[in-house]
A and B are shown apart, each in its own frame.
Chain A
Amino acid sequence: MITIDQVSKRRGSKQILTEVGFEARPGRVTGFLGPNGAGKSSTLRILLGLDRPDGGVALVAGRPFARLRRPLTTVGAVLDGGGAHRSRTGRGHLRWIAASNGLPRARVDEVLDLVGLTEAAGRRVGGYSLGMGRRLALAAALLGDPPVLVLDEPVNGLDPEGIRRLRVLLRDRAAAGGTVLLSSHLIGELAETVDDVVVIDRGRVVALGTLAEVTGAHRGLEDAFFALTSGTGPGTGHGGRP
Chain B
Amino acid sequence: MTAAARLPRPGASGASGFSSHSGTSGPRVVAGTFRAEVLKLLTLPALYLTAAITWAVAPLLAVASVSAAAGEGNGPGPGTDPGLAPVGYAQAGFVVLGVLAAASEYRGGQIRTTLTCVPRRVEVQLAKAAALAVTALPVAVATAGSGVLAARAALAAHAPPYGAAGPVDAPGEVRAVAGAAAYLVLTALLSSAVATLTRGTIPAVTVLLGHHFVVGPYLAGRTALTAYLPGTAGLWPGGGTGAGEVLGAGGRWAVVTGWTVAALGVAIVSFRRRDA
Q: Which residues of A contact B (CB under 8 A)?
A: 45, 48-52, 65-75, 77, 79-89, 92-93, 95-97, 99-102, 113-114, 116, 125, 140, 144-147, 161, 164-165, 168-169, 172, 175-178
A-B contacts, CB under 8 A, total: 149
**Inter-subunit contact A175/B10 (CB<8 Å):** yes
**Inter-subunit contact B3/A161 (CB<8 Å):** yes
Q: Which residues of B contact A (CB under 8 A)?
A: 3-4, 6-8, 10-11, 13, 16-19, 21, 23-24, 26, 28-29, 31-33, 35-37, 39-40, 43-46, 104, 107-110, 112-120, 275-276
Residues of B within 8 A of A48 (CB): 112, 115-116, 119
- Chain A residue nearest to B14 (CB atoms) is A145
**Inter-subunit contact B40/A96 (CB<8 Å):** yes
Given contacts A50-B112, A96-B36, A161-B3, contact A145 B117 (CB under 8 A): no
Given contacts A50-B116, A100-B117, contact A87 B45 (CB under 8 A): yes
Residues of A within 8 A of B17 (CB): 145, 176-178
CA distance A81 to B111 in the complex (A): 11
Residues of B within 8 A of A165 (CB): 3, 6-7
CA distance A69 to B119 in the complex (A): 9
Residues of B within 8 A of A176 (CB): 10-11, 16-18
**Inter-subunit contact A81/B109 (CB<8 Å):** yes
CA distance A224 to B11 in the complex (A): 37
CA distance A122 to B16 in the complex (A): 32
Residues of A within 8 A of B33 (CB): 100
- Chain B residue nearest to A76 (CB atoms) is B116
**Inter-subunit contact B10/A172 (CB<8 Å):** yes
CA distance A83 to B32 in the complex (A): 19
**Inter-subunit contact B119/A95 (CB<8 Å):** no
**Cβ-defined partner of B116 (8 Å) among A73, A79, A85, A96:** A79
